[in-house]
Amino acid sequence: MRLLLVEDSEKLSTWLKKALQQGGYAVDTSMDGQEADYLLATQSYDAVVLDLSLPGMDGMEVLARLRERHSKTPVLVLTARGELEDRVKGLNLGADDYLAKPFDLVELEARLHALIRRAHGAGTPLISVGPLAYESSGRLFTLQGQKLLLRPKEHAVLEVLLMRAGKAVSKAQLHEHVFSIDDETSPEVVEIYIHRLRRQLLNSGVAIVTLRGLGYVLEPTAG
């Protein structure tokens, strides 16, 4: 899953980006409101962590402009502003959650998991397709009851497909949700991870099917 982290503190941004990457996310960062607005208008993200006090453009305006474009991307407002008025204003502008600094990383990640899950219509942390199950809060895949050992990018690709199970996901869409702007790769690299995942899922009762011209779909099989 791909996140945009908008935070004007270089120290906090660097630390939080590293922590989220270790948690399996692809992370783009911005320290400026205008740049964040441009990225949100031109890139696709699974969630946004947004500070309110930003140079260039206030975080509230970034949020308002995002919603004016009818984007439903989940936004977690992360700020030192703890007053009720700021919380209410942010929520009224379309923020999905609010976390005041200082914060606990575990809580931040739990809230992000919940926001992304709800954005894809999953009401509970456990999501399954046939014998493949995913515990989103722990980011753990199991296949036929056994832990599925995956490399980070394999995990990320399978997570995107599972969140959109039954729907075709194009190679380009997979690439943009798995890799950050800093990753120097082309969409073609997705085929490598699809190949590896198919070997892992072979004859398991769930498969990644290619729909010509549309992309890939994760669905249960009779096998």
Gap between the Cα atoms of 24 and 102, Å rounded: 23
For residues 31 and 71, membership in a common domain is answered with yes
For residues 6 and 115, membership in a common domain is answered with yes
For residues 91 and 6, membership in a common domain is answered with yes
User: What's the whole-model pTM score?
Assistant: 0.86
Choose the final residue of a domain: 119, 134, 167.
119
* pLDDT higher than threshold 60 for residue 120: yes
Choose the final residue of a domain: 119, 151, 167.
119
For residues 151 and 216, membership in a common domain is answered with yes
Cβ neighbour number for residue 139 with a 10 Å cutoff: 16
Choose the final residue of a domain: 67, 92, 119.
119
Gap between the Cα atoms of 123 and 97, Å rounded: 16
Do β-strands 75-79 and 140-143 pair in parallel, antiparallel, or remain unpaired?
A: unpaired
User: What percentage of the chain has pLDDT greater than the value 70?
Assistant: 96
**pLDDT at residue number 90:** 73
The dihedral region occupied by 54, where left means phi > 0, alpha psi between -120 and 50, and beta the remainder, is beta
Range of the domain at 19: 2-119
For residues 20 and 101, membership in a common domain is answered with yes
Q: Are 76 and 111 in contact (CB under 8 A)?
A: yes
pLDDT in tens, 58-107: 999 999 999 999 999 999 998 776 666 777 777 778 889 988 888 899 99
**Assigned token pair, 76:** 């977690």
**pLDDT at residue number 146:** 93
- Lowest-pLDDT range, 20-24, 90-94, 192-196? 90-94
Q: Under DSSP, is residue 22 helix (H, G, I), strand (E, B) or coil?
A: helix
Domain of 174, CATH number, reads: 1.10.10.10
**pLDDT at residue number 92:** 78
Domain of 64, CATH number, reads: 3.40.50.2300
